[in-house]
Amino acid sequence: MIPRYSMPEMAALFSEEARFATWLEVELLAVEAWASLGVIPNEHAVACRERAPQIDAAFVAAVNERERVTDHDVAAFVDVVQQHIGPPEGNWVHHGLTSSDVVDTALCATLVRAADLLLEAIDGFIAVLARRAREHAHTPMLGRTHGMHAEPTTFGTKLALFCLQAARDRDRLRAARAGIAVGKLSGAVGTYSNIDPAVEAHVCRELGLEPVPATQVIARDRHAEYLYACAAIGTTVETVSLEVRHLQRSEVAEVEEAFGTGQKGSSAMPHKRNPITAERLCGLARVLRGYAVAGLEDVALWHERDISHSSVERIVLPDASLAAYYALRRCARMVDGLVVRSERMLENLLEGSYGLVFSQPVLLALVQAGLTRDDAYRIVQRDSRRAYEERRSFREIVEGDPDVKSALAGSGSDAAVVLASAFDLDRALRHAHRTIDRLDDLEVTPE
- Cα distance between residue 341 and residue 26, in whole Å: 55
Q: How far is CA 281 from the centre of its chain?
A: 11
**What is the average pLDDT across 9-13?**
97
Q: What is the pLDDT of residue 414?
A: 87
**Domain at 1-95: CATH code:** 1.10.275.10
Active site residue 246: no
Q: Are 327 and 117 in contact (CB under 8 A)?
A: no
Judge whether residue 113 has pLDDT over 80.
yes
CATH superfamily assigned to domain 99-190+215-260+271-353+440-447: Fumarase/aspartase (Central domain) (1.20.200.10)
Tell me the pLDDT tens digit for each residue of 154-187: 999 999 999 999 999 999 999 999 999 999 999 9
Judge whether residue 413 has pLDDT over 90.
no
Nearest to 99 by CA among 201, 220, 197, 216: 216
Q: Which of 146, 271, 303, 431 is an active site residue?
A: 146
Judge whether residue 259 has pLDDT over 90.
no
Q: What is the pLDDT of residue 260?
A: 76
Taken in order 342, 345, 347, 349, is the CA torsion positive or negative?
negative
- For the chain, what is the radius of gyration of the CA atoms? 31
Nearby residues of 184 by Cβ (< 8 Å), 6 or more positions away: 100, 101, 104, 105, 190, 200, 211, 212, 213, 214, 217, 218
Judge whether residue 270 has pLDDT over 90.
no
Q: What is the pLDDT of residue 410?
A: 82
Active site residue 393: no
Q: Of 17-31, 264-278, 367-381, 416-430, give the lowest mean pLDDT range.
A: 264-278
Which helix (H) or strand (E) segment holds residue 111: the answer is: helix 99-135
Nearby residues of 319 by Cβ (< 8 Å), 6 or more positions away: 1, 287, 291
Q: Return the amino acid letter for 195.
A: I
Residue 241 CB neighbours (<10 A): 27
Q: How confident is the model at residue 266 (pLDDT cuts 50, 70, 90)?
A: confident
Q: What is the pLDDT of residue 412?
A: 81
- Cα distance between residue 442 and residue 419, in whole Å: 39
Q: Which of 15, 193, 266, 421 is an active site residue?
A: 266
Q: What is the pLDDT of residue 447?
A: 77
Question: CA 320, 326, 329 angle in degrees (round to 5)?
Answer: 135
Choose between 228 and 272: higher pLDDT: 228
- Cα distance between residue 206 and residue 298, in whole Å: 28
Give per-residue burial for 318-343: e unless 16+ CB within 10 Å, then b: bbbbbbbbbbbbbbbbbbbebebbee
Q: How confident is the model at residue 426 (pLDDT cuts 50, 70, 90)?
A: very high
**What is the average pLDDT across 416-439?**
95
Choose between 124 and 275: higher pLDDT: 124
Report the mean per-residue pLDDT for the chain: 95
- Cα 282 to Cα 11, 371, 409, distances in angstroms: 21, 47, 53
Tell me the pLDDT tens digit for each residue of 324-369: 999 999 999 999 999 999 999 999 999 999 999 999 999 999 999 9
Nearby residues of 234 by Cβ (< 8 Å), 6 or more positions away: 284, 285, 287, 288, 289, 323, 324, 327
Residue spans of the domains in the chain: they are 1-95, 99-190+215-260+271-353+440-447, 356-422
Q: What is the pLDDT of residue 320?
A: 97
Tell me the pLDDT tens digit for each residue of 210-239: 999 999 999 999 999 999 999 999 999 999
Judge whether residue 198 has pLDDT over 90.
yes
Q: Are 127 and 444 in contact (CB under 8 A)?
A: yes
Judge whether residue 271 has pLDDT over 90.
no
- State the burial class of residue 261 (Cβ atoms within 10 Å of its Cβ: 0-12, 13-18, 19+): exposed
CATH of 356-422, picked from 1.10.1660, 1.10.40, 1.10.287, 1.10.10, is 1.10.40
Nearby residues of 16 by Cβ (< 8 Å), 6 or more positions away: 60
Q: Are 81 and 73 in contact (CB under 8 A)?
A: no
